[in-house]
Copies of this chain bind each other. A is one copy, B any other.
Amino acid sequence: MYDVVTFGETMLRLSPPDYRRLEHAYSFDLNAGGAEMSVACNVSRLGLRSAWVSRLTDNSLGHYIRNKAREQGVDTSHILWTKEDRVGVYFVEFGASPRPSRVVYDRAHSAMSKVKPGDFDWESILKDVKWFYTTGITPALSKSAADATLEALRTSRQMGCRVACDLNYRARLWSEDEAHKCMVPLMEYVDVLISTEEDTAKVLKITGESYQEVAKKLAEQFNFEAVCITIRTDLSVLRNQWTAIVYADGKVYDDTTYEVEIIDRVGAGDSFASGFLYGCIFGDVDKGLRYGNAYAALLHSVPGDINWCTLQEVETLIKGGGTRISR
């Protein structure tokens, strides 16, 4: 029934405007931020049918987050509402060279960290679904969340739903060893891995001489259908380069490198995943790579984790649309 179902936590995202520091702030811009909800929103914007599955506290803050997913056309009917626990919060300080941007988390004790196996009727949710998407953040939230993730992954495999996963290692949530111990068994259920070279080294302990070698090793060791390595070069805080490669079918696919001027870089990996899933559904991994890269490059130009760009903008960019004003 859906093209894509995602599973994970969304937090309130609070960020002082105008490059102010948290200590210097008098106001915060409010957004909803979470990798898996972002992917559900993004693929809906690109034209796919999606649902986001999570556990949320039933107060105005939880409703705010649910609304922001609905605004993008995401099905939110599977959210598990609770009167307990809290909505996590994270704070973003935007930087400029030589000061990097910075995230301060206040996510402990959230409703989603208390999620557990049996909370969702995965068989019903995943019926006729093409892709299930989650990230390494979900199992990192707690032991019960890791168990719930495993339950969802197993059901995906049973239901014939392919699985894409971004490692998304978060050092504030667990150590590299904890991540390794938890994530490796989950890889059995993953069809497409999306990651950075840094995270594959930390979590899966795979390194190599080149991105290509890393991708190949990963695919072979974990029997992935495809491995995407996203590659960011930080020219400065406000100017980056973005590209990615894919290893699939014994081949490496690469793509153009985009110059990006950074308005808000949070969510680039999620946008890559979103474009990649879109491209795979309407084409192949090569199309996935090109749509993923273009959509991720565009993400940097808009505020917030959700990618407000459109399919048309993605396709114009892929065709070399240029940077002149569009009238």
A303 and B23 CA atoms in complex are apart in Å by: 12
In the bound complex, do residue A261 and residue B97 qualify as a contact, i.e. CB atoms below 8 Å apart? yes
Least Cβ distance of A72 to chain B in Å?
A: 7
In the bound complex, do residue A263 and residue B19 qualify as a contact, i.e. CB atoms below 8 Å apart? yes
A59: chain B residues within 8 A (beta carbon):
104
In the bound complex, do residue B86 and residue A108 qualify as a contact, i.e. CB atoms below 8 Å apart? yes
Given A26-B30, A67-B71, A303-B18: A322 in contact with B234 (beta carbons within 8 A): yes
Task: Give the number of times this chain occurs in the complex, counting copies.
Answer: 6
In the bound complex, do residue A27 and residue B30 qualify as a contact, i.e. CB atoms below 8 Å apart? yes
Binary CB contact string for chain A from 85 to 110 against chain B (1 if under 8 A, 0 otherwise): 01101010101111111111110110
A324: chain B residues within 8 A (beta carbon):
100, 234
A41 and B103 CA atoms in complex are apart in Å by: 25
A210 part of interface (Cβ distance < 8 Å): no
Kindly identify which residue among B27, B60, B172, B325 contacts A27, using a CB–CB cutoff of 8 Å. B27
A109 and B327 CA atoms in complex are apart in Å by: 19
A22 part of interface (Cβ distance < 8 Å): yes
Given A23-B60, A298-B99: A325 in contact with B266 (beta carbons within 8 A): yes
A119 part of interface (Cβ distance < 8 Å): no
A322: chain B residues within 8 A (beta carbon):
100, 234
A184 part of interface (Cβ distance < 8 Å): no
A21 part of interface (Cβ distance < 8 Å): yes
Least Cβ distance of A57 to chain B in Å?
A: 9
A100: chain B residues within 8 A (beta carbon):
321-326
Kindly identify which residue among B72, B89, B99 contacts A309, using a CB–CB cutoff of 8 Å. B99
A262: chain B residues within 8 A (beta carbon):
96
Which residue of chain B has its CB nearest to the CB of A68?
A: B71
In the bound complex, do residue A28 and residue B30 qualify as a contact, i.e. CB atoms below 8 Å apart? yes
Least Cβ distance of A89 to chain B in Å?
A: 7
Least Cβ distance of A20 to chain B in Å?
A: 6
A-B contact sample (7 more), CB < 8 A, given A19-B301, A23-B63, A100-B326: A22-B60, A25-B30, A26-B30, A86-B108, A98-B297, A99-B301, A103-B326
A interface residues with partner B (beta carbon < 8 Å):
14, 17-30, 59-61, 63-64, 67-68, 70-73, 86-87, 89, 91, 93, 95-106, 108-109, 170-172, 234, 236-238, 258-263, 265-266, 294, 297-298, 300-304, 308-309, 313, 317, 321-327
